[in-house]
């Protein structure tokens, strides 16, 4: 009889732990924003975490921000789109995907892609090539 009571207590404890763990997954807040590391005029949620430096490749400067609760299948959240537009950015309607967008402001272009629990802010590098000729006297 005593073993049955202990077994019931263990089962109840396990069930409560699972319930509390499920309730612990918090949704991102969309009330405070700051400038992105690679473009200060583009907003990112204040609670998003990122490395201290941007990652660079030949074509893009990009920063990956972790944000638990973000889901790729839900696309860019409406409150985030509203904040981006409030900061003066306009969205290009060329992309069919809800999980990515291209935004323009003052000649700058920013690509935003949303994934599960993180998003990426990318800025294309301008190709600045100049050919200098030899001057002969």
pLDDT of residue 52: 59
What global pTM score does this model have? 0.69
Provide the 10 A C-beta neighbour count for residue 71.
12
In whole angstroms, give the CA distance from residue 71 to residue 78.
13
Q: Which two tokens stand for residue 41?
A: 């005029």
Distances (CA, A) of 53 to 10, 36, 45, 64, 126: 47, 11, 17, 10, 20
Using one digit for the tens of pLDDT, what is the confidence trace for 18-57?
565 555 556 677 889 999 998 999 999 999 988 756 666 7
In whole angstroms, give the CA distance from residue 99 to residue 71.
9
Using one digit for the tens of pLDDT, what is the confidence trace for 85-137?
999 999 987 667 788 999 999 999 999 999 999 999 999 887 544 445 555 54
Task: Give Cβ neighbours of residue 73 (< 8 Å, ≥ 6 apart).
Answer: 99
Cα-Cα-Cα-Cα dihedral of 32, 37, 43, 45, to 10°?
-40
């Amino acid at each position: 009889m005593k073993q049955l009571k202990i077994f019931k207590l263990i089962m109840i404890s396990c069930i409560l732990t699972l319930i509390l763990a499920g309730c612990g997954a918090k949704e991102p807040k969309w009330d405070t924003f700051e400038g992105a590391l690679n473009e200060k005029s583009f907003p990112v949620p204040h609670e998003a975490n990122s490395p201290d430096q941007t990652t660079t490749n030949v074509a893009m400067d990009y920063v990956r921000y972790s944000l638990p609760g973000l889901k790729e299948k839900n696309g860019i959240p409406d409150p985030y789109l509203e904040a981006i537009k409030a900061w003066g950015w306009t969205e290009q309607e060329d992309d069919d995907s809800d999980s990515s967008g291209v935004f323009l402001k003052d000649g700058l272009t920013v690509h935003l892609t949303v994934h599960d629990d993180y998003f990426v802010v990318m800025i294309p590098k301008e190709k600045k090539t100049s050919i200098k000729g030899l001057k002969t006297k």
